[in-house]
Amino acid sequence: MSLEKKELVEEEEANQKKVIERVIVKEEEYRPAKLELEDLKPKYMDRQQRYNNWYFAANFTHDGRDYLVKFSIREGTLMGQNKIFLSLSTDPLILKQEGDVQVVQEPVNDIDIVKPLEDKDFKYTEDNDKIRIEMDELTAMCRVDEWKIVSRNKRLGADLTFTPRGPSTFWGGEKNAVCEITENTRVSGIETLSNFEGNVIIDGKEIEVQGRGLFERVWIGSLNFLEIRLVDWIVANFDQMYTFLCHVESDASDGRPFHFETGTVHLVMEDDYMVAKKLEVIPEKWVYLRSAYRFIPYTQRVKVETDKGSLEMMATLSMYPQPIDEPRRIENLTINNITGWSALFYDAPVKLEGKFTYKNGKTVELTNGVGINEVLRILPL
């Protein structure tokens, strides 16, 4: 190669290098899949063993008092028979010092209704853009961008319409993902942090309400409940952000630990939607729940790592925990050569504070955080 030609080649390569150095390679933004009507329909209806859930939770304030109402339609056999759940949390949390222990005082005005039902009580119809699920006193009407729950119960009635604050979260990070939350448990689901408005009727008194809450659609194809040791399922609405997180620890059949976690963080103004890469839920203070003969977390520190930064929150119990199932002591049960177990499963209304810190140092302070910490513990006595 002549000296002149060699110089031309070197000059061309140098120019190409400069062009490459000037190009900014932008990482592809993660965007969740869009919700479709098919996602909301009952699943596994051809199986005897199945579970379908349509769940609504609404936080609101009325006359200076905080409330949380929840309505759930549950179809199938894997979490017991068909049931509807209706609950109202309204009494503020009261702790009483007894010796060295703070004891959670039972509420006076809370409502907790569970009605077991039969297969014939579940009614399902669909239209071009809407499905309708009815079971006894509850009716849910679901579109892809709007979900309505109607309760005809005399103690706790409601007509509430929910609309999404932003994209839905699919369990496992993608549509129809089948999540192996324990060795023998398969869960799929959708969580949509929402705005809502409508009315709630409490013991005959109707009040107009609006606020933030959650519409959840979950289905289960297989379940081994007794493999679970610890679950923290957390949903939180802030002014600047919403998040869904689920952390599960369980035992495999050979006794080794089995871990699962999923979740997302959505900063609304920045329109940053991020998948949780690492999740920690760390109890920092405990109180005694007399009905369960157990200590439960009063405050929990939550840490979430994402590709763009980290979320830190403190979740504090704000009202009396609503049982999802009655606390149980199973003294004769033997698992992994340990005899005597207890099961505790409840929804804890929580208030939250926190901040999100980007990797470049920018922080977003989070305000007006409300939500639910669903807690499940299956542990030796």
Residue 264 has pLDDT above 90, yes or no: yes
pLDDT for 22 equals: 40
Look at 265 and 338; give whichever has higher pLDDT.
265
pLDDT for 322 equals: 92
From the number of C-beta atoms within 10 Å of its C-beta (0-12, 13-18, 19+), residue 336 rates as: exposed
| Run of H or E residues at 37 | helix 37-40
* Rounded CA separation 375/292 (Å): 13
**CATH fold for the domain made of 33-380:** AttH-like fold (2.40.370)
Q: Are strands 322-335 and 338-358 parallel, antiparallel or unpaired?
A: antiparallel
Residue 56 has pLDDT above 50, yes or no: yes
Average pLDDT in the chain: 92
Per-residue pLDDT, averaged over 180-207, amounts to 97
Share of the chain above pLDDT 70, in %: 92
Question: What is the C-alpha end-to-end distance of the chain, expressed in Å?
Answer: 83
Confidence category of residue 29, pLDDT binned at 50, 70, 90: low
* Rounded CA separation 7/193 (Å): 62
Residue 19 has pLDDT above 50, yes or no: no
Q: Are strands 272-275 and 278-289 parallel, antiparallel or unpaired?
A: unpaired
Per-residue pLDDT, averaged over 340-345, amounts to 93
Task: Using DSSP, state whether 380 is helix, strand or coil.
Answer: strand
* Rounded CA separation 71/234 (Å): 17
Question: pTM, whole model, 2 decimals?
Answer: 0.90
Confidence category of residue 15, pLDDT binned at 50, 70, 90: low
Confidence category of residue 11, pLDDT binned at 50, 70, 90: low
Task: Using DSSP, state whether 315 is helix, strand or coil.
Answer: strand
Residue 20 has pLDDT above 50, yes or no: no
